[in-house]
Amino acid sequence: MYVKTHGNYGPGEQRSREYDWAGNPRVAQGTGNTQAHAFGYGEDRLVNGAQKAVMPERALEAFPKTVIVKKTVEDARAVMSDMLGTVKNLGQGQPDRNPGHTYGSVSNVDGIWNAGKCITGEPEHKELLPDKDLGISVRPNCSNTVRHADHVNKTFGCPSIRTDIPYKNRKSMADYQNYGDEPEAIDLLAPATFTECGISEYDFQVPRDRDQVKALFEKIGYTYKVGKFNCIFNRAVEMCNSQDGMVSVRAFMMAVNALHNVE
């Protein structure tokens, strides 16, 4: 219905206008099939078209035809045309020159500024020295003058990464304070294996008691008997030198690698 009322033909579908093809001499001379007939001038498929466009003088499967011309024609072209990589022949002969000969005047003349000097200039030694206020304060009444000889290398001011502020268990999203627990640049270049799962290296270093460690490893398929688990846990306590009997997951993994095959 849409074809009849709106002319809604599909993509590539031939549109039927109900013409009388019987009196068309082009169709009569052709295939006679109105579905396969195409109007316009048709061209044969050209093989190696790009090659013929680049080398029009070369026939297919043949070498270019050699054309012999007069020497005077070549001499005239050598004088009138510009040869690639050579100087133009002015008809005055070419004297013998060494292979490293350079034509034209030298651009790098002493005393004339070039592009490099325009960028760097000609600074003196004192201009290349560090600024006098680099790393120190030269503002009046604000100089960092130490009172004791032990404070010569002391760093004044508040650091941007504060390690003296107690860490909050529930940190607000609006808290921009750096407590010294943020990842370093190496974590962005080479992230940890479980970063995509939301597990950081801090989770492997948190001290945990015996029951927590046992429950975590049972969930990932490492189930041990009571005696072997206690042996591995005690080995982890020795390896991390724990004073309160709590070990981290990383220490327990190291103990597992050492005693996993021991019965």
List the chain pLDDT tens, one digit each, 263 residues.
677 787 787 777 777 676 666 666 555 555 556 666 666 676 777 777 787 777 776 665 666 677 888 988 888 887 888 877 777 777 666 677 777 777 777 666 666 777 888 888 888 888 888 887 776 677 766 666 777 788 777 776 777 777 777 877 788 888 887 777 777 778 778 887 777 787 877 788 888 998 998 998 888 888 888 888 888 898 898 888 888 889 998 899 888 888 877 77
Tokens 């991390």, located at residue: 240
In a domain, 255, yes or no: yes
Residue listed under structure tokens 């046992």: 214
How many angstroms from the chain centroid is the CA of residue 205? Answer: 34
Q: Identify whether 224 is part of a domain.
A: yes
Number of domains into which the chain is organized = 1
Looking up tokens 């031939």 gives 14
Whole-angstrom Cα distance, residue 236 to residue 251?
A: 5
Q: Which tokens belong to 146?
A: 């130490």
Domain of 229, in residue numbers: 205-259
Tell me if 212 is assigned to some domain.
Answer: yes
55 occurs within a structural domain: no
Burial class (CB in 10 A: 0-12, 13-18, 19+), 233: buried
Beta bridge partner(s), residue 238: none
Look at residue 36 in the predicted model and tell me its pLDDT: 63
The residue whose two tokens read 């048709």 is 42
In a domain, 187, yes or no: no
For the chain, what is the radius of gyration of the CA atoms? Answer: 44
**Inside any domain, residue 107:** no
Please report whether residue 37 resides in a domain. no
DSSP assignment of the chain, as one string? -HHHHT--PPTTPPPP-----TT-HHHHHTTS-TTT---S---PPPTTHHHHHH-TTSPTTSPPPP----HHHHHHHHHHSPPTTS----SS------TT---S--S--TT---HHHHHH----HHHHSPPTTTTS--STT-----SSGGGTTPPPS--SS-SSSPPPSS--TT-----S-S--HHHHHS--TTGGGT--HHHHHS-B-HHHHHHHHHHTT----HHHHHHHHHHHHHHHT-SSS-B-HHHHHHHHHHHTT--
- 195 belongs to a structural domain: no
